[in-house]
Amino acid sequence: MEEPRRLGGRYELGHVLGRGGMAEVYLAHDTRLGRSVAVKTLRADLARDPSFQARFRREAQSAASLNHPTIVAVHDTGEDHIDGVSIPYIVMEYVDGSTFRTLLHSGRKLLPERSMEMTIGILQGLEYSHRAGIVHRDIKPANVMLTRNGQVKVMDFGIARAMGDSGMTMTQTAAVIGTAQYLSPEQAKGEQVDARSDLYSTGCLLYELLTVRPPFVGDSPVAVAYQHVREEPQPPSVFNPEITPEMDAIVMRALVKDPDYRYQSADEMRSDIEACLDGQPVAATAAMGSVGYGGYPHGQPMTALRTDSSAGPTTMLPPMNRYNERPDRRRQKKNNNTSTILLVVAGVLLLVSAILIGKWLGKQF
């Protein structure tokens, strides 16, 4: 019988739990501590590329620095050598459960309240990682797990970066990192991202949990990325009548194009969801009403609402008195629309009058 492959002299690899774009994950046995673990190894065909090596090690460093119940824990790291090539690996806690992607593809319909509860778990993990200065940058159904006892676990910090890192843009890669359906507008545009980008991606994931479809779909990743930048999603209630106005408001605020008008922290978004589940008023309802949600013509980008281009550096704290200027803007927009309508009506009346006069003159001659 063939001996199981052993890493670091202690981790015996079993069957493959999953494969991704750059790594494979095995169920393994820690012979020293006598426990099951999950071992992620960089794919052998990518191990010769220094950029993939660096990204894989960065994931280990990012995840190892985080210790929270809703984040998959990293126990150990190391390197294996095959045919003279160094293949790094990460030893993580083994999570007995399934990913949100598997859950969504199973065809099971979740109650809206359960979807909101599961999103709270994601936000708790992000709140902790953001306070530690780490942005995940790849929140999507495949990177969140649900254990058999119902606990949420965020995993795969493979493209995470420290906040303030000057390299926190997407322009250095040959392709857009992060699944296109969950990209924030700033990621899609190759701009610098912060914690609020994770909240947009979480909003996309919550949207899909509520409706069983992402906010934007297209024929290609580029087409989807364009929609994230330029198009407004339809409220989740359009696809699921069980969604309440408060749930709509929470999702739509998370999906605002301009980060300054989005939720400013995971804690702020989590508080709104908890208020919604408790039957209490949610801040998103007032905030979205103030910035024009439901008050502008269909298709008007919310990015056009930002008027203060000289604002200082963004922070993770909610903006103060940011929304009280919006009603005036909306009244001005309404007045402009009224003037346009009156001009069109006047033009139609002139045209009708000209036709009638022409017919009358024709009868006279």
Residues annotated as catalytic (active site), given as ranges: 138
- Is 40 annotated for ligand binding? yes
Which residues lie closer than 8 Å to 202 by C-beta, 6 or more apart? 119, 122, 123, 126, 139, 254, 266, 269
Longest distance between any two alpha carbons in the chain, whole Å: 110
Distance of CA 324 to the CA centre of its chain: 27
Which residues lie closer than 8 Å to 287 by C-beta, 6 or more apart? 249, 253, 261, 323
Which residues lie closer than 8 Å to 140 by C-beta, 6 or more apart? 101, 178, 179, 181, 182, 201, 204, 205
Helix (H, G, I), strand (E, B) or coil at 73: coil
DSSP E strands in the chain: the ranges are: 6-7, 11-19, 23-30, 35-42, 74-82, 85-93, 97-99, 134-135, 144-147, 152-154, 161-162
What six digits make up the tokens of 24? Answer: 């494979």
Alpha carbon distances (Å) from 143 to 3, 140, 185: 32, 5, 20
Of the candidates 201, 154, 145, 177, which has an alpha carbon nearest to the alpha carbon of residue 55? 177
Place of tokens 């660096």: 54
Distance of CA 63 to the CA centre of its chain: 19
Binding residues for ATP: 40
Binding residues: 40
